[in-house]
Amino acid sequence: MATMYAFFKGDFVPLSEAKIGILTHAFNYGTAVFEGIRGYWNEDEQQLYAFKLTEHYQRLRNSCHILNINLRYSVKELCEITTELLRRSEVRSNIYIRPIAYKSGEVLGVRLHNIDDDVTIACLPFGKYVEAEAAHCKVSSWRRMDDSIAPVRAKITGIYVNSALAKTEAVLDGYDEAILLNGDGHVSEGSGENIFLVRNGVLITPARSENILEGITRDVVIQLAREVLGMSVEERAVDRSELYVADECFLTGTAAEVTVVGKIDHRQIGTGKIGPYTTRLRQAFEDVAYGRNKKYISFCTPVWPK
């Protein structure tokens, strides 16, 4: 097996050597931002495609701006570093990429100013995020973080304790995943995914104002629903009870991809299995992510030279 590398402190090092000190500010206070990026191996073309690489690093840069982290690399440089990292690690299979920009100073004190910053990128194999073919979800007792408390459109490591509490509550109660409501009682998102439902042939998803993360996979699914399936899409407030009467429901995210929801709070959604719209959207998404649909090949960054 090839040695897996990480980009750490400005250089490529074996993943096992990429270590931070216990006094690192981000480790103590959650002052870091991150991304999850998938790479898809196209066997027919013998090519690895990093999916929506530029958009992920644009979002990382936005998250850094919100958290007062000085990201010294441009989006283009981060894309180049990532493809070089994948080549050095000799990746020729599906892969998960984890960039983190963080407060790297080894200092104590709750603040964001006057602390050194750095960025690291790792890659590792990563399978299905939710193992169930049709997930059983629980509406969590934990509410989704509000943007007035912490900026939810930034992927801040510290914020994800909110998701961890909801996910663990759900799993320990016998469910596969959690769905969080916002402070107004509207549906927000899963513990690490955006949520969609289908009613009468219309695709519905909570609006950005519902304290959701502005998901990149979410945007792709909305685009494919309109352009490939010809569906109407509504971005609006969704009540908890509307989930129960949906014809179909699914979760999206880099880790989750397109994950079917079969039950919510012990109530079957539709047939309890993958529905016709979700089937077509999932297939359309996979065709794009693996570089098979050349109309959307600009979404994919090839790693290996042709």
Please name the residue that has the structure tokens 């570093």.
Answer: 81
Token digits for 164? Answer: 């961890």
Token digits for 25? Answer: 């500010």
Pair 249, 196: CB distance under 8 Å? yes
Please name the residue that has the structure tokens 């870091």.
Answer: 32
User: Which residue in 155, 167, 273, 306 is the catalytic one?
Assistant: 155
Four-point Cα dihedral 233, 182, 212, 225, nearest 10: -20
Token digits for 5? Answer: 């590398």
Q: Sign (positive/negative) of CA torsion 72, 79, 258, 222? A: positive
Strand 47-51 to 117-124 pairing:
unpaired
Pair 251, 177: CB distance under 8 Å? yes
The helix (run of H) or strand (run of E) holding residue 6 is strand 5-8
Token digits for 277? Answer: 């719209």
Four-point Cα dihedral 237, 240, 245, 246, nearest 10: 50
Of 242, 185, 255, nearest in space to 35 by CA:
255
Cα gap 129→241, rounded to integer Å:
26
Strand 177-181 to 187-190 pairing:
antiparallel
Write the single-letter amino acid at 77. Answer: E
Known catalytic residue: 306? no
Catalytic residues: 155
